[in-house]
Amino acid sequence: MAGTIGVLAGTALGPSASRADAPAARAQDRRTVPAPRAQDRQTVPAPRARGWQAVPAPGSLPAAQLRRVAAAGPRLAWAVGEESLGAQTQQQALSMVWNGSVWTKSDLSHLTHTRIVDVAGVHSSAAWAVGHPTGDGTPLLRWDGTTWREADFPGRGEPDVRLTSVAVGRDRQVWVCGTRDGAARLLHGHGRRWRWLDPLPVESVNLWRVVVRRPGEVWVCGDRSNGGGWSGLVARWDGAWTVLPPIVGLRLGIADVHSAGPDDVWAVGTEAGVGGPIGRPGNPALSHWDGTAWTRVEPGFALGSLTGIASDARGRAAWISGWNFSDQTRGTYLRRDGDTWTLARGPAGPAPAPYLNDVTSVPGTRGFWSVGMTHSAPYPPTEAYSEHLGA
| 3 state DSSP class of 40 | helix
Mean pLDDT, rounded, for 251-275: 94
Q: How far apart are CA 369 and CA 346, in angstroms?
A: 12
Q: Which residue has the higher pLDDT, 318 or 90?
A: 318
111-115, 188-192, 322-326: range with highest mean pLDDT: 322-326
pLDDT tens-digit readout, 329-375: 999 999 999 889 999 999 998 999 999 999 999 999 999 999 999 99
Residue ranges covered by each domain of the chain:
84-389
Buried b (16+ CB within 10 A) or exposed e, 324-333: bbeebebbbb
pLDDT tens-digit readout, 177-225: 999 999 999 999 988 899 999 999 999 999 999 999 999 999 999 999 9
Buried b (16+ CB within 10 A) or exposed e, 41-74: eeeeeeeeeebbbbbebeebbbbbbbbbbbbbee
Predicted local confidence at residue 277, as pLDDT: 66
pTM: 0.87
Cα torsion 144, 147, 153, 155 to 10°: value is 180
Mean pLDDT, rounded, for 81-107: 93
Cα distances (angstroms) measured from residue 61 to each of 94, 99, 305, 372, 378: 9, 21, 25, 14, 12
Q: How far apart are CA 383 and CA 64, in angstroms?
A: 5
Instruction: Using the predicted structure, report yes or no on whether residue 275 has a pLDDT greater than 80.
Output: no
Mean pLDDT, rounded, for 10-22: 33
For the chain, give the mean pLDDT: 87
Fold (topology level) of 84-389: Methylamine Dehydrogenase; Chain H (2.130.10)
